[in-house]
Amino acid sequence: MDYDIIYIGSGNAAWQGGRFLRKKGLKVLIIEEGLYGGTCANRGCNSKAILDAPYEIKALTDNFEGVGKSGDFEVDWPSLMKFKRKRIAGMSVFLDGKFDEYDLDVAHGKGIIIDEHTVQVGEKQFTTDKIVICAGLKPVIPDIKGSQYLHDSNDFLDIEELPKHAIIIGAGFVGMEFASIIAEAGLTADIIIRGNMALKFFHQPYVQRVIEILKEKNIRFHFNESVEEIINNIEIDNPDAKVLNVTSAQNSDKNLRDPEAKIDNKAYEDGFTVKCESGLTLMGDYVISAIGRTANVEDIGLENVGLSYTKQGIKVNGHLQTEVPNIYASGDVADTGIAKLVTVAIHHSKYLAKELLGEADEITYPAIPAVAYTIPRIATVGVPAYVADKSDEYDVHTIRYGNSYSLILKNDLTAEAKVIVDKNLQIVGAEIYAADAENVANMFAFIINKKITLEELDYMIYAFPSSSSVCLYKLHNIHYDL
């Protein structure tokens, strides 16, 4: 065999564990068709974090309107994009250097599985004892008329100028996070949602708060709508077409299907018209597909070894093993029923290194924090509130630490957490709504996973002032039943 392990894909699901295998003396090859590091490093998490940060700061400065703020904080998108591109361009080069440092072999090109022990890249074939598929996910583009005019998350995160009026199809992580950026930029957008809720895996009362903030900033929501067609307005030869006047922030929800509502077609003569099955028609200058991601495994030879997949990925067992015993799947491409997050991909990769060394039992998962990087943020970890509300096993306590400590929290009056405890007053879950919800969620993840009791938390001394300290301090109300 040429190698002990071949990874198809170079993201966190691969190299995080691959380096440990190499350190143990196994020969490892990483195959990558695109940029080293995969989606998170080059087209996802890192790009989003860079582009989101100035708008997060802008929102924080707005808390001091009338109490210290002077002038307006404006974000220069072109210069921000230039900075983003410079930073992201270095990620793949950096990781290439790390792979060399870890003594991991790399092959650039599309990895195609020929048989259970052979992977082809270009005209070269490599043999291996085991194969790990780490191909990740790709954005879903719906099969509708005019789909060629749709942009995906990769496009938006590299756009030269923000659209004046975007139409976003979908209200998951991507749709809602992009909407927050557009709102803070003072621009407008319509969000089309097939179902009746946004961010369905998050605490809906907190999601609704974010929706209300976005509505106040010219983002409109259209629930229970399905897109039927997207039209390039250049191709329209009907100047009297009656459609929703999306340029007016004064339009109320009751006017969404007003047959007399018109738009100045000249404003969007180079834009697009989006038609829904219900008859709702919208116009804008940029249309984004944000309806999810699907397994990126087309044309990698799964059929050659009898492997099938769904949009959730390749089915694996508790050892991340596919139906073919020596082939595994790691990260987002693995259908495990667990949230598809980069942190989970890292967990998979580290576990799989131990599994391939014969040092692991079935994979287990700690409480996993998930964050929607809207403005403000929403986070969830452990037992969710909607489960606790329907069970006699848990109690839900509301911690309004923003209202109590707004001075400490940069004048943020709204920071809040729902803390879920079992009948022994052990914290088992939390929902957070706050500017820094991600940090508070990490704090709760530590508490939940280490089973730290309320009594132990009450004994500890924390750095003050800080958001974590004031949230933790409020927990003593649960401890003392106040």
Per residue in 47-80, pLDDT tens? Answer: 999 999 999 999 999 989 888 889 989 999 999 9
What are the residue ranges spanned by the domains of the chain? 3-138+292-356, 147-289, 376-479
How many other C-beta atoms can be found within 10 angstroms of the C-beta atom of residue 193? 21
pLDDT at 267 (0 to 100): 53
> Angle, to 10 degrees, between the axis of helix 45-62 and the axis of helix 173-184?
40
Q: How far is CA 158 from the centre of its chain?
A: 17
The reported pLDDT for the residue numbered 270 is 74
Given this model, what pLDDT does residue 251 score? 35
> What dotted CATH number matches 376-479?
3.30.390.30
CB 37 within 8 A of CB 10: yes
Asked if domains 3-138+292-356 and 376-479 share a fold, the reply is no
pLDDT of residue 253: 40
Q: Using alpha carbons, select from 409, 373, 376 the residue that is nearest to residue 58.
A: 376
CB atoms within 10 A of CB 411: 17
Cβ pair 380, 431 in contact under 8 A: yes
**pTM of the shown model:** 0.91
Domain at 147-289, CATH from 3.40.50.2300, 3.50.50.60, 3.30.1450.10, 3.40.1280.10: 3.50.50.60
Look at domain 3-138+292-356 and name its CATH class. Answer: alpha beta
The helix, strand and coil proportions of the chain, stated in percent and rounded to the nearest 5, come to 35, 25, 40
Helix and strand totals (H; E) in the chain: 14, 23
Which of 195-233 are b and which e, b meaning 16 or more Cβ less than 10 Å from the residue's Cβ?
Answer: eeebbeebbbebbebbbebbeebbbbbbeebebbebbeb
The C-alpha atoms of residue 198 and residue 456 are separated, in whole angstroms, by 37
- pLDDT tens string, the chain, 482 residues long: the values are 899 999 999 999 999 999 999 999 999 999 999 999 988 889 899 999 999 999 999 999 998 988 888 998 999 999 999 999 999 999 999 999 999 999 999 999 999 999 999 999 999 999 999 999 999 999 999 999 999 999 999 999 999 999 999 999 999 999 999 999 999 999 999 999 999 999 999 999 999 999 999 999 999 999 999 999 999 998 765 444 444 444 333 333 433 333 333 344 445 667 999 999 999 999 999 999 999 999 999 999 999 999 999 989 999 999 999 999 999 999 999 999 999 999 999 999 999 999 999 999 999 999 999 999 999 999 999 999 999 999 999 999 999 998 877 767 788 889 999 999 999 999 999 999 999 999 999 999 999 999 999 999 999 999 988 888 889 988 887 877 65
Q: Which of 449, 131, 106, 138 is nearest to 316 (CA)?
A: 131
Beta carbons within 8 Å of 248's beta carbon, 6+ residues apart: none
pLDDT for res 67: 87
Give pLDDT, residue 242: 43
Give me the pLDDT at residue 386, please: 96
**Model pLDDT, residue 477:** 79
